[in-house]
Amino acid sequence: MALMAVILAVFSFIGDAIAADAPALSPTSGAELGVVSASIAAAFLVSFLAFMLRSALLKFLFFTLIPKFPNLASFVSTLLFQVLLVVSLLHLSNAGRRLSGLVEEQSMLLQYHKGPLLSGKISVNLIWYGNFNPTQRAIISDFISSLSSSQASLKTQSQPSVLTWWKTTDKYYQLSSKNKKPSSLSLQMGNQILDENYSLGKSLTRNQIVQLAARGDHRNAVNVVLTAADVTVKGFCMDTCGSHGSQGKKSKFAYIWVGNSDTQCPGQCAWPFHQPIYGPQNPPLIAPNNDVGMDGMVINLASLLAATATNPFGNGFYQGSAEAPLEAASACPGIYGKGAYPGYAGELLVDSTTGASYNANGANGRKYLLPALFDPSTSSCSALV
């Protein structure tokens, strides 16, 4: 009986080892359906052959060799034990190679898809749709001004600064250039367009967002559409807080849309300045500019600006589906400081006067909370504090 157990174990290992080399199956697209069908057929064929091999060898051993040569039982038992050991080691080695390959494949989170990054001297034009007061508009315009890489900005911004946060995007340009001289991006404040009369109504589609974005410059520009708290946009608060894209055939221009979630979904689009709609219900943080909706817009605008710089036309740096990609900031959700975890933004700086939480200093004495960016040089999320 002991001999039979050893023999069964050995041939079980052999069959498993053979089947393990069959083509691995994974979810795939319709275009690869024929390849998947072939893989399934191959897998079943290999498994069937392994089963038949096991059956034939067992029958030969028990009904032919051992009855004729009784003294062979001890020798076969020793031999099979050695074979069992070798097969086990090979099995472990194969599993180790597969695990090593998996880790290697995941070491670079964001893949470069060979397309151009946003480069040159780019103006950021703000298109205000709906009712924003001058104080609210200044919160956003000061943030854009904080991204300027001029020497004056470097000297006037206290550390940690908005500009230091933005410098992480430079690493994507270095990575995309390989042996060539890397391109560079210089942002500056552009024009501001006001539409306080809701010319397209208070309920917008995504196509209407593109129409609004087209009111800005189409060359060397990023046009940012900012919708007021009383404007609904298709998908807003349901699956997104904003978006970015490009438009045009001959000369493409990049655009961004961000909505003010103050009265619609602050728990989703203005966290951590409002309690989240799900998850741990920790007390909300005090917004650095004393406006939950606008400070939430800065977070989302910052995330989308980083995505626009590194993936402006859908073929730059991203991971996953091109329709719903993980990008420079969205690859690091909910991380604003050291030690962040779901429901906790991380260790942040606190204004001694107002008690507001922030991690970046900006132009005109502003303070902002900015999301962590994925650092391609370390393959990790990098927060300012």
How confident is the model over 136-145, as pLDDT tens digits?
999 999 999 9
For every residue of 118-145, DSSP letters joined together read P-EEEEEEEEEES---HHHHHHHHHHHH
Amino acid at 301: L
pTM, to two decimals = 0.72
Q: What percent of the chain has pLDDT over 70?
A: 70
**297: burial class by Cβ within 10 Å (0-12, 13-18, 19+)?**
buried
Residue 272: cis peptide before it, omega within 30 degrees of 0? yes
| pLDDT above 80: residue 35 | no
Q: What percent of the chain has pLDDT over 90?
A: 62
| pLDDT above 50: residue 332 | yes
Average pLDDT for 85-114: 48
| DSSP H/E element including 303 | helix 292-310
> Using N-to-C axis directions, what is the helix angle for 33-60 and 2-20, rounded to 10°?
160
Token pair of 284 as six digits: 């909300």
pLDDT averaged over every residue in the chain: 80
Q: Are 12 and 54 in contact (CB under 8 A)?
A: yes
Residues 44-66 as b/e (b if ≥16 CB within 10 A, e otherwise) read eebeeebeeebeeeeeebeeeeb
How confident is the model over 208-241, as pLDDT tens digits?
999 999 999 999 999 999 999 999 999 999 999 9
pLDDT tier at 102, thresholds 50, 70, 90: very low
pLDDT tier at 106, thresholds 50, 70, 90: very low
Q: In angstroms, rounded to a whole number, what is the distance separating the alpha carbons of residues 199 and 368?
A: 31
pLDDT tier at 1, thresholds 50, 70, 90: very low
Q: Are 375 and 168 in contact (CB under 8 A)?
A: yes
Q: How many CB atoms lie under 10 A from the CB of residue 306?
A: 24
pLDDT tier at 207, thresholds 50, 70, 90: very high
Lowest mean pLDDT among 82-91, 193-202, 237-246: 82-91
> How far is CA 101 from each of CA 94, 97, 98, 107, 110, rounded to the nearest angstrom?
11, 6, 5, 10, 17
Q: Are 346 and 337 in contact (CB under 8 A)?
A: yes
DSSP 117: P
225 vs 55: which has the higher pLDDT: 225
| pLDDT above 50: residue 6 | no
Q: How far is CA 243 from the centre of its chain?
A: 14
Q: According to the model, what pLDDT value does residue 248 have?
A: 81
